[in-house]
Structure 1
Amino acid sequence: MRPVSVLIVDDQILLRQGLRKLLEIEDGVEVVGDASDGVEALEFLASAPPPDVALVDARMPRMDGIELITRMRAEHPGVPAVILTTFDDDELVFGGLRAGARGYLLKDVPPEELVLAIRQAARGETVLGGPAADHLVAALTAPPAPVPSPVRPSALSEREWEVARVVGTGATNREIARTLFITEGTAKNHVTSILRKLDLRDRTALALWVGEHRA
């Protein structure tokens, strides 16, 4: 079976060398190159056969890992990237995943877990270390932020504002009448008055206006 080829991207030369030595003793893994930042990594990818996986540090000079992964996703979509970093925060975890990273690991990960993650990423699987997984679970289980209520403009009466808010849902005059227990003609008159007071041309403009005016 062909070994999994790996590109190491990190600005710390000792870490690059250490990772190379660590991975070179593993059966089925081959380090095909290393780069000190995103610029060098893109130069390598443009001039060599694509590796199966790129191990990418999050913070580097000239071009950091997030920008590199964004560029790789556009220019080298067949190369999955795994972030390997010392930094553990929401901005980097979610920024990296949004950019297209297939995994996020901390540099204190045990060697066997790193090798397993490389093989999983090469197969197209997503790999998240414990802390990154915790961030993701916390974000998914956090209670939703309260949705602010629209603020009534002083130009409108309470009833007109009620009508405007129902128009904001896309309701017709008949639906407005049913919702507010008024006649359809009264609903129509309220809509006409609201459009005039707010200097809006039609119901669509009013619906957009209601959506934009929130607390």
Structure 2
Amino acid sequence: MTIRVVLTDDQPLVRAALQMVITDTADIEVVGEAGDGAEAVRLTEELAPDVVVMDLRMPGMDGIEATRLITTGTGSTRVVVLTTFDDDDYVYGALHAGASGFLVKDMALDDILAAVRIVAAGDALIAPAVTRRLIKEFTARPASTPPRAELGGITDREREVLTLVGRGLSNTEIAAELFISVATAKTYLTRLLAKLHARDRVQLVILAYEAGLVAPSK
């Protein structure tokens, strides 16, 4: 099945570069392009793409607000944020707005395409460089931030799994860490998503940090 994508960036050259690569990709198709957030929201409502690749800093409506409007809408479109290293202040806001992927523009184009496929399949992906910025965000916060009340409904084992998710471990790495099968790790992840009403793995990472389950590196 072809993944339908809307490209959103106020720089035509960035959109053209992505469009050129995607043209040679059999399983991904660009169905629309937008130069600002408002246009991205309109195209999403009109075209119902599988994924919107979203820049953050744009004139008019920025990528955070556009992401929020898209992910809280009635459709199933998911958002991959594609931004630059100097957007530290935007990381937390974009993830909370509902983005399922957060990538940086100097990544290899093949990695960006792989991320689109991962998000379209219902998973989530955060680039390692962005994970470090997310950790930095929480490092600057008071250490006494209280756990979220909704974490009270999970088991001790699920709390362990959530902690490892917050540390950025994959299902395979979680399985090795806890001496369980990968299938069991996936089962725990599914339970956490349901119990915590989380959209995807990205939101579980946020919850792990907000609950104080992961201690940011100093």
- TM, length-normalised to structure 2: 0.61
Conservation of the 8 A alpha-carbon contact between 1:34 and 1:41: yes
Match in the other structure for 2:101 = 103
Give how far 1:47 is off.
Answer: 2.0
**Which of 63, 68, 89 is equivalent to 1:70?**
68
Structure 1 segments unaligned to the other structure (5+ residues)? 148-215
Match in the other structure for 2:194 = none
RMSD of aligned alpha carbons: 2.0
Q: In structure 1, what is the Cα distance between the partners aligned to 2:28 and 2:64?
A: 25
**1:26 matches 2:25:** yes
Structure 2 segments unaligned to the other structure (5+ residues)? 146-218
Identity rate, percent:
38
- Which residues in structure 2 correspond to 1:30-109 (within 5 Å)? 30-48=29-47, 50-109=48-107
Letter in 2 for 1:99: A
Max Rg structure:
1
**Which of 119, 122, 145 is equivalent to 1:121?**
119
Do the aligned partners of residues 92 and 77 (structure 1) sit closer, same or farther apart at CA in structure 2, a change above 3 Å counting? farther
| Number of residue pairs the alignment of both structures matches | 145
Give how far 1:140 is off.
Answer: 5.6
**1:130 matches 2:128:** yes
**1:16 matches 2:15:** yes
- Greater than 3 Å deviation, 4+ residue runs: 87-90, 137-147
SS of the counterpart of 1:7? strand
Letter in 1 for 2:88: D
Conservation of the 8 A alpha-carbon contact between 2:82 and 2:103: yes
- TM, length-normalised to structure 1: 0.62
Q: In structure 1, what is the Cα distance between the partners aligned to 2:136 and 2:75?
A: 29
SS of the counterpart of 1:75? coil
Q: In structure 1, what is the Cα distance between the partners aligned to 2:131 and 2:144?
A: 25
Q: In structure 2, what is the Cα distance between the partners aligned to 1:51 and 1:129?
A: 23
Give how far 1:143 is off.
Answer: 8.2
Q: In structure 2, what is the Cα distance between the partners aligned to 1:89 and 1:142?
A: 16
Conservation of the 8 A alpha-carbon contact between 1:88 and 1:132: no
Give how far 1:88 is off.
Answer: 3.7
Conservation of the 8 A alpha-carbon contact between 1:88 and 1:131: no
Q: In structure 2, what is the Cα distance between the partners aligned to 1:124 and 1:141?
A: 29
Q: In structure 1, what is the Cα distance between the partners aligned to 2:49 and 2:7?
A: 10
Q: In structure 1, what is the Cα distance between the partners aligned to 2:85 and 2:3?
A: 26
Q: Which moved more, 1:13-22 or 1:138-147?
A: 138-147
Do the aligned partners of residues 76 and 13 (structure 1) sit closer, same or farther apart at CA in structure 2, a change above 3 Å counting? farther
Give how far 1:82 is off.
Answer: 0.7
Q: In structure 2, what is the Cα distance between the partners aligned to 1:84 and 1:115?
A: 11
